[in-house]
Chain A
Amino acid sequence: MGVVLRAERLTKTFKLSKKQQNLEHTAETMRTAANNLSFDVGKGEVFGLLGPNGAGKTTTLRMLSTLIKPDSGDATVEGHSIVREPEQVRAAIGFLTSELRLEDFFTPDYLFGFFSQLRGIDAATTERRKRELFERFGISEFAGVKVGSLSTGMKQKASLVISIVHDPGIIIFDEPTNGLDVITARVVTDYLKELRDSGKTIILSTHIFSLVEKLCDRVGIIIEGRMTACDTLDAITRDASLEDRFFELFVEAGGEVA
């Protein structure tokens, strides 16, 4: 199984604003969100980044999807550097987070066409994929309704569909089920399984243990920006449950469970 994504010593530091300092009762002006993170993801693998809120998962995924640049370190996606060849990386991946919104004014139908055009997909392929994906997620009926008028669940499904218009080989998913209602969350989890079965590489971040247990082949545990453990799910859990194992690592790393 070849490596399709390799992160090497990714580091990202943010300045904390006065407001954030007050909010978090801290005097530090810099926050290292990702600290020397290295990991590999093999083709067809589902890799989970597990960690508490603020551990640096989102920062890491944003770096991988080229939305932000690492301060140091690099990562390659299908051989393309995220620092030097961001466009090739963006062409190879599908990135989805709840932060990527769709314009309320347009319909899912229009946006599917628009994003397909941005990704240089021909009209016939666009039509075929649109039919398939809209059918699969039950969007067909709402294809002509403006995004602003859709229900939250439908908006999220439309967002998901539009992030994979180009049928990417690598899908990066930040908190896939965050903020979804139970039904949509189930639809998304099922679809991730389908994608895995069809040989796609999936990298997801989450703080939900069950999701990792259900989906992931390998898992990296991030605590305060550091990769505390990174191995196959079995190797990490051994005979304990993932949750227990996580808290052992968390305490070892100096974390406090209040």
Chain B
Amino acid sequence: MRGGLSAIIKKELARFFTDPRSVITTILLPGLMIFALYSFMGEAMTGLYRVSDDYEAQVYVVNMPESLRPVLEGQGTEIQTAAPGDLAGLRDKITNKEVDLLVVFPEGFDQAVAARLSAKGGAAEDGVGLSVSPTGLAAPPNVEIYYNSTRTESSGAYEAASQLLQGYRDTLFTTYTVNAVPDPAVASPYDLASAQDQAGFIISSLLPMLIIIFLFSGCMAVAPESSAGEKERGTIATLLVTPLKRHELAIGKIISLSLIALLAAVSSFVGILLSLPRLIGGAPEGMADASIYGLNEYALLLAVILTTVLLFVGLISVLSAFARTVKEASTLVMPLMIAVMLVGVLGSFAGAQSNLLYYLIPAYNSAQCMAGIFSFTPNVAAIGITIAANLVLTAACVFALTRMFNSERIVFSR
């Protein structure tokens, strides 16, 4: 009786969509919440590591060498000189976040550097090479930079000062450079990855895991209600005394719940796509623009996601059918949720698996396939196996659910 299947699907959808509360909490809210939360998180995180433009760092220097004075003072930060006797007091002030940076040069820094320069030059001329340390030479002069890593302004000043000093050292001792960039303001020309690939890389390491989690939560929001809930309220027996075939009931429920769960997942997906630019500050241009993916990628993605949802709904429905109440069902599904998330996370962080057998593992296979699709390197055989595995397992769930609807012990368990 075909009418049975379509009646069940229509009823489940009507149950959901004519109830504004369930539509709002299951479909609209997740997307909105994720957008708001991730945008806020992104903004907050960027703000955490950003130093206000007009901030004046409090920098003290002891024993400022004449050679470095123009370089250091040319940075636009007012540098205050301190006497060696102030050291202890200044270090306390850094701990207390009153001063940002203290640079202590050893006495006679310039002379010590000059001595090492001439010694090295001589060694090189002897043909001994730079790697051999000439004997009888004093240890290299050490510049001490004190800072406070818990204060963003202090860390920033430390970064700038150590870069400056290392740069100065490099200009003195350089024999060759690697990937020299004449102007730090220009992006490095050496990374040849396309902007699209870079965006894909970031998305593929982030989204698969999130999508798996969203899919599962979407399924969790609807599936236990539908199988354990009907048992709890005693409405399932009313269905079971009609000529409706048990497998029609099982298939009808899984299809309709999957549609709803899919919508919930799409809502979360849109929410995260919209919040991506703010979540990943400093991402490449054009990043998080969903349009970097074409129809091909979206079609593959949809196929993977759809079969994953079917499987999740199937698994949750089977577990829920064992439960007597919705509450009990949620408890039963918890271990499954933890397992799925763990496997999903593993699947999105691991490098692409070339052994196709791994694509038989639910959730792991979906995460791996999505990571491949997002990074523009989809493995068609793996996606095929994933879809087939998901469908076969869903069919097994339908079979199990059908058996359960036939079992008086399960339907009438009290």
Q: A104 at the A/B interface (Cβ < 8 Å)?
A: yes
Would A118 and B14 count as touching, CB distance under 8 A? no
Q: B11 at the A/B interface (Cβ < 8 Å)?
A: yes
Would A67 and B241 count as touching, CB distance under 8 A? yes
Would B234 and A67 count as touching, CB distance under 8 A? no
Would A101 and B7 count as touching, CB distance under 8 A? no
Would B237 and A100 count as touching, CB distance under 8 A? yes
Which of B206-214, B242-250, B307-315 contacts the other chain? Answer: B242-250
Would B3 and A118 count as touching, CB distance under 8 A? yes
- Known A-B contacts A90-B241, A118-B3; the reply to A101 vs B233 at CB < 8 A is yes
Residue count of chain A within 8 Å CB distance of chain B: 29
Would B235 and A90 count as touching, CB distance under 8 A? no
Task: Give the distance in Å from the alpha carbon of A249 to the alpha carbon of B14 in the complex.
Answer: 53
Q: B384 at the A/B interface (Cβ < 8 Å)?
A: no
Task: Give the distance in Å from the alpha carbon of A200 to the alpha carbon of B166 in the complex.
Answer: 101
Q: B15 at the A/B interface (Cβ < 8 Å)?
A: yes
Residue count of chain B within 8 Å CB distance of chain A: 27
Q: B408 at the A/B interface (Cβ < 8 Å)?
A: yes
- Known A-B contacts A103-B235, A105-B15, A105-B19; the reply to A67 vs B240 at CB < 8 A is yes
**Choice from A87, A104, A162 contacting B243 with Cβ under 8 Å:** A87
Would A101 and B243 count as touching, CB distance under 8 A? no
Which of A109-117, A180-188, A225-233 contacts the other chain? Answer: A109-117
In chain B between 1 and 34, which residues have their CB closer than 8 angstroms to a CB of chain A? 1, 3-4, 6-8, 10-11, 14-15, 19
Would A119 and B238 count as touching, CB distance under 8 A? no
In chain A between 147 and 201, which residues have their CB closer than 8 angstroms to a CB of chain B? 159, 162-163
Chain A residues lying within 8 Å of B240, measured Cβ to Cβ, are: 67
Nearest CB of chain B from residue A159's CB, rounded to whole Å = 8
Would A68 and B244 count as touching, CB distance under 8 A? no
- Known A-B contacts A99-B234, A100-B238, A106-B15; the reply to A87 vs B408 at CB < 8 A is no
Chain A residues lying within 8 Å of B230, measured Cβ to Cβ, are: 103
Chain B residues lying within 8 Å of A162, measured Cβ to Cβ, are: 238
Q: B173 at the A/B interface (Cβ < 8 Å)?
A: no
Q: B181 at the A/B interface (Cβ < 8 Å)?
A: no
Would B242 and A115 count as touching, CB distance under 8 A? yes
Chain A residues lying within 8 Å of B245, measured Cβ to Cβ, are: 87
Chain A residues lying within 8 Å of B19, measured Cβ to Cβ, are: 105
Task: Give the distance in Å from the alpha carbon of A87 to the alpha carbon of B244 in the complex.
Answer: 7
Chain A residues lying within 8 Å of B10, measured Cβ to Cβ, are: 114
Q: A242 at the A/B interface (Cβ < 8 Å)?
A: no
Would A103 and B233 count as touching, CB distance under 8 A? yes
In chain B between 168 and 214, which residues have their CB closer than 8 angstroms to a CB of chain A? none
Task: Give the distance in Å from the alpha carbon of A46 to the alpha carbon of B357 in the complex.
Answer: 64
- Known A-B contacts A68-B412, A103-B15; the reply to A117 vs B237 at CB < 8 A is no
Would A114 and B234 count as touching, CB distance under 8 A? no
Nearest CB of chain A from residue B137's CB, rounded to whole Å = 88
Nearest CB of chain A from residue B172's CB, rounded to whole Å = 80
Nearest CB of chain A from residue B140's CB, rounded to whole Å = 80
**Choice from B235, B242, B412 contacting A118 with Cβ under 8 Å:** B242
- Known A-B contacts A68-B412, A114-B7; the reply to A119 vs B243 at CB < 8 A is yes
Nearest CB of chain A from residue B406's CB, rounded to whole Å = 9
Nearest CB of chain A from residue B232's CB, rounded to whole Å = 10
Would A65 and B235 count as touching, CB distance under 8 A? no
Would A101 and B234 count as touching, CB distance under 8 A? yes
Chain B residues lying within 8 Å of A65, measured Cβ to Cβ, are: 241
Chain B residues lying within 8 Å of A90, measured Cβ to Cβ, are: 241-243
Chain B residues lying within 8 Å of A105, measured Cβ to Cβ, are: 15, 19
Q: A69 at the A/B interface (Cβ < 8 Å)?
A: yes
Task: Give the distance in Å from the alpha carbon of A90 to the alpha carbon of B19 in the complex.
Answer: 31
Nearest CB of chain A from residue B396's CB, rounded to whole Å = 23
Q: B239 at the A/B interface (Cβ < 8 Å)?
A: yes
Task: Name, among A99, A115, A159, the residue most crowded by chain B CB atoms within 10 Å (CB to CB).
Answer: A115
Q: A133 at the A/B interface (Cβ < 8 Å)?
A: no
Q: A208 at the A/B interface (Cβ < 8 Å)?
A: no
Task: Give the distance in Å from the alpha carbon of A106 to the alpha carbon of B19 in the complex.
Answer: 10
Task: Give the distance in Å from the alpha carbon of A91 to the alpha carbon of B242 in the complex.
Answer: 7
Nearest CB of chain A from residue B312's CB, rounded to whole Å = 24
Residue of B nearest to A117 (CB): B7
Would A99 and B244 count as touching, CB distance under 8 A? no
Nearest CB of chain B from residue A247's CB, rounded to whole Å = 31
Would B244 and A118 count as touching, CB distance under 8 A? yes
In chain A between 81 and 124, which residues have their CB closer than 8 angstroms to a CB of chain B? 87-88, 90-91, 93, 95, 99-106, 110, 114-115, 117-120
Interface pairs (23), CB distance under 8 Å? A66-B241, A67-B237, A67-B240, A67-B241, A67-B412, A68-B408, A88-B243, A99-B234, A99-B237, A100-B234, A101-B233, A102-B235, A104-B233, A105-B19, A110-B14, A114-B10, A117-B3, A118-B4, A118-B242, A118-B243, A120-B3, A159-B238, A163-B238
Q: A100-B238, A110-B14 are in contact. List 6 more A-B contacts (CB 8 A).
A: A87-B243, A90-B242, A105-B15, A105-B19, A106-B15, A120-B243
A residues with a Cβ closer than 8 A to B are 65-69, 87-88, 90-91, 93, 95, 99-106, 110, 114-115, 117-120, 159, 162-163
**Among all A-B residue pairs, the 5 with the closest Cβ atoms:** A101-B234, A117-B7, A68-B408, A91-B243, A100-B238
